[in-house]
Amino acid sequence: MPEGPEIRRAADRVHRQLAGRRLDDAWFAFPDLAGQAASLIGREVTAVDSWGKALLTRFDDGRVLYSHNQLYGVWKLHEADREPDTGRSLRVRLVAQGRAASLYSASDVSLWDTSSLDEHPFLSRLGPDLLTHGITIEQGVARLIEPRFCRRGLGGLLLDQALFAGIGNYLRSEILFFAGLHYSARPGNMEEGTLAHLATCILSVTRQAYDQAGVTNRSDWIAVDRARGASRRRWRFAVFERDGLPCPACGTTIRRVTVTSRRLYFCPSCQPS
């Protein structure tokens, strides 16, 4: 399933397609939205960004179109007069100056005023988005040591979207590896320097995954793997999906465990319990 970096890259693509342009047409498959489509015609798309796994399309009158791709939703960008070649069900179409963005197979779509967006039943439960909300290392540490988070093991905590929005399964394993922390470690038991290093890794690994289209591994380790003929699926990560292989840092065999019902990969030597 796509994680925060992939959703933000999708938002960026829709932003480049529509932002700064006024809508010539809007269409919704949902009856409660279809009646509002006409009111969007002539409105300028000011930005498209993301919050966790939700896309937010913002208009110049203060309204925001919320959409969540869930498991199967996908945005397709195309010329307005050329229908995408797909068998998926069209849910939303926005057209601006000959360009179109069409959302297929998603069912969670709604229109909100910016002032009431924090009342959204999904967004109101999310922590800040690591790629959208400009989180600093100091702010990251402050969240980690909040009473509701600090006594929980990192293996489960990092997947809690109330902490930070956007961290999914591959990011969890990669962040913990580069932070040198075991999945059972708790923020409340950490020294200040360890907390700062963890917050730094949370931000930097997520940012790298965004900048490099899902790659979180170090460039020198990637070069070694590629020289051996490894596939992208193998070399893009340092530990995720690499169980049974040697750790790129120390050579210890990488292990796979199940934490909060999801697979997690770690190096027993680099991340001691």
Annotation says 128 is catalytic:
no
Catalytic-role residue among 152, 262, 263, 268: 262
Token match 């945005």: residue?
A: 75
Torsion of the alpha carbons at 130, 208, 194 and 253, rounded to the nearest 10: 130
Annotation says 147 is catalytic:
no
Annotation says 262 is catalytic:
yes
Catalytic-role residue among 53, 93, 143, 242: 53
Catalytic-role residue among 2, 13, 234, 256: 2
**3-state class (DSSP) for residue 111:** strand
Cβ-Cβ contacts under 8 Å for 215 (sequence gap 6 or more): 208, 209, 222, 236
Catalytic-role residue among 3, 91, 172, 236: 3
Annotation says 53 is catalytic:
yes
Whole-number Å distance between alpha carbons of 239 and 234? 9
The answer to whether 130 and 49 have CB atoms below 8 angstroms apart is no
Cβ-Cβ contacts under 8 Å for 242 (sequence gap 6 or more): 234, 254, 265
Whole-number Å distance between alpha carbons of 19 and 128? 23
Whole-number Å distance between alpha carbons of 201 and 203? 5
| Catalytic site positions | 2-3, 53, 262
